[in-house]
Structure 1
Amino acid sequence: MLAGSLSIMILSGCSDNSKAARELLSQAESMAVSGDYPGALALLDSVDSRYAAEVEVRRDAMSLRPRIMEMLTLKELSTADSMIVQLTIEADAVKDVMAFVEDSFEGYYTTKALKGKVPAEKPGLYARMSADGIYTVVSSCPKGTESTAVGLKSGDDEVMSARVAHDGERNDRSRGVEIINFMPSECDTLGVFAERHTGDEIKATFFGEKKNHTMTLPKDQAEALGSVHKASVIVGRLHKAQLEKTRLERQLDVARSQMARTFREKE
């Protein structure tokens, strides 16, 4: 049925149009029928750019394009739906160890073991995740270090965060401890490291302008660094997949609207 409906447009008015342009249009039809939608759309672009004077062929191509876009979008929507189902299952599994913490902003997720524990009250590293999967880490270091970065070490393996200069905001030394709020790109390495060393002893070193401070991370903090990072990757991918599905649904509406506007009756 698909091949027949596309052929009707391509065959109409063949005697009045360039043979070469019609051949490209026919190839685009064949590629669409075989499922090569990007290739078919590329050929339609060629028809439009190379045969600007072939008005009737270009009109047929204009009518064919949204039909191919509809098929391509439906295929991509099917893939997106499958991905969302799988990621939802994975997200539900990792959320079993997570807890939501309300604060003065949007709130965040951390492990149940860390819920209620405040960085200002105990040195260490506190992993957090936003509702859409953004991973952050808050470091808490004894005053006098003037810390700007954090390193982790387990055995011979070690890693370091990015440096955050003291600014009184993200790097704050006004309280009883020194607090650094690391953004995702500054602390992802810490999460990956903690995942790799799940169950291992991890030592954290706070690198400062005056001196360094090293401590063994408490078990709940070390486990949270890895498990919250793992959750953030899954939840982040799920959020992106849901956004992509929304985009594809809008794209499908546009394609069907264009199909209605460019429909050509068989002569």
Structure 2
Amino acid sequence: MEIKLAKKYGFCFGVKRAIKLAEKSPGAITFGPLIHNAREIKRLEEGFGVFVENETTNVKENQSVIIRTHGITKQDLEILKNKNAKITDATCPFVIKPQQIAENMSKEGYSIVIFGDITHPEIKGVMSYAHDPIVVGSLEELQNKKFGKKVALISQTTKQTKKFLEIANYLMQQCYETRVFNTICNATFDNQEAVKELSQEVDIMIVVGGKTSSNTKQLLSIAQMYCQSSYLVEDEMDLELSWFEGKKLCGITAGASTPDWIVKKVQDKIREI
């Protein structure tokens, strides 16, 4: 079995930064999972005593708290500050950008349209900075929404550029004024382009990453467009022998929250197959 890695894959700048901050803060808690990768979260718990806390009510006075890469709501941040928490902000700078845009454009009277998953922590955080935002996962969803004549469009950092542009084009035709802010992360775009290219060359495509990770699911979706035998695994234990029957060339990519050590274990397992 020949293996070929995508030209771009794995940890992005924001995740690398967050991991380093967590490793320098032993005994701290992270408010929400630091990143969307259960295996890496477990490594931080076992190796550095950095545990996840999901409720502000459980945060103690003066406790050391790391804010996750996806950010948190404006309201939760105020609660932590009122508890005098020792805050280490690991929010990815690419996530802070749409938060700031949502807040500023709301103050200027624009309707805020967010292309993203309303249940995702990144979007919950961005929504908290906007006045009555509209969140849509597709152009079809937007067509059923009412919005003002002045609209500001932003995106979840891990979404596909093509779909974002479809929404932007629609708004420009419907609104008196449309401000479009491309808040899709460069690393996300590069990883998506790389998987698009590789999945057209291989017999089987393995996407390595957390099953709750938005950017990982986007990579799988793109891979499946070009390679029918495309699968998502969290680690080497998820691989199934039957997937590789009759296959000669295996492509591998990984989500932005997937560390190299997991990718290597997947590679080694496939070599054994």
TM-score, normalized by the shorter chain, greater than 0.5: no
Quickly name the TM-score band, shorter chain normalised: under 0.3
**Which of these two proteins has the greater Rg computed from alpha carbons?**
1
TM (normalized to structure 1)? 0.23
TM (normalized to structure 2)? 0.23
